[in-house]
Amino acid sequence: MKILVTGAKGFIGKNLVAELRNQNYTYILEYGKDTDPNLLDEYCREANFVFHLAGVNRPKDQSEYMDGNYGFTSILLNTLRKHQNTCPIMVSSSIQAGLDNPYGISKKASEDLLFNYGKETGAKVLIYRLPNVFGKWCRPNYNSAIATFCHNIAHNLTITVNDPSVKMNLVYIDDVIEELTRALNGNQTTVGEFCEVPVAYQSTLGEIVDLIYSFKKSRKDRSIPNMADSFSKKLYSTYLSYLPEEQFSYELKMNIDNRGSFTEFIKTPDRGQVSVNISKPGITKGNHWHHTKNEKFLVVSGTGVIRFRKIDTEEVIEYFVSGEKLEVVDIPTGYTHNIENLGNTDMVTIMWANEQFDPERPDTFYLEV
């Protein structure tokens, strides 16, 4: 199959082409503003499916809206007609096509052109009125508030929010691409005469900005957002894609003493926290128990023993652990426990706790095993 993608170097086009390659489509005819215009004739002759993503959304002069959107769409369709190529054609329109502004008017004119083309030729026409699309590779400080917020906040630049209560209708780029690949296979999502991306979100500008600032702060307080919330998860992925390349890493606070170190790695609002514990040879750590807090220990380097004793008994239970055989040891409530390094090198243990450490309510009581 040969797939023509107009606007191939744009935000949606770049993501689509990357995914088509992931799915082993080898004949992708990429057409952009820098492509030799003469290639359009060849591409329209050979294409088995057209993704028409090219368009103008921020011209120097408003007349360019009609030329770039309606005008190029007309050229594309006439070239397909010339070769009697009635392959399916998908078009990225906008929710603004229903508004009375130059951009919306040009998009609506393009839609009408496509519908008439479909009736005339019998070609399958798929029109998506996309809301605001967000995700990686979107150009900041251009026409996307999300891209601008993510980029500027990540780079310590100012942002402007005139009205935090303004609501935005949003779709995530990966959800858009998933829908477009479904359309390629004839399984598009249709609502009336239009197609749509099934997964959409609505949020205010203020809520979005607050979330992005919380992502920036999370690198300092070692937290990550609630990944159970689909919008937060996708916005967080988008934010990370705008990090300055020299700032991909960030330091953690290591609590170091003569026994080794203890470092908090990740804190979550609802899934507890993960820490890294390093014990020197011969060192024993722990000797405490918890009412409700529970933990999981995973020794990833070195050898040692984890001991347990129910607080009202004398029996000691031992689990010998090693980085040579990865196994998780649960730390139940009501058992005092410790971990001893039995080797000649540092022992490294990944520790998960079901809640973040609260110094006001540590739920940790000293008692020798």
Indicate which residues carry an active-site annotation.
103
Measuring CA to CA, which residue among 9, 18, 8 is closest to residue 52? Answer: 8
Backbone angles phi, psi at 294, to 5 degrees: -130, 155
Identity of the residue numbered 24 = N
CA pair distance 244, 247, nearest whole angstrom: 5
Question: And the tokens for 262?
Answer: 């203890």
Inter-residue contact 280 to 341 (CB < 8 Å): yes
Measuring CA to CA, which residue among 176, 151, 305, 171 is closest to residue 231? Answer: 171
Enumerate the β-bridge partners of residue 304: 321, 341
H/E stretch holding 151? helix 145-154
Q: In what order do the strands lie in the sheet with 328-331?
A: 254-257, 260-267, 273-279, 347-353, 295-301, 328-331
Inter-residue contact 343 to 304 (CB < 8 Å): yes
Distances (CA, A) of 158 to 83, 141, 296: 51, 11, 42
CA pair distance 307, 340, nearest whole angstrom: 8
Inter-residue contact 338 to 369 (CB < 8 Å): yes
Inter-residue contact 74 to 83 (CB < 8 Å): no
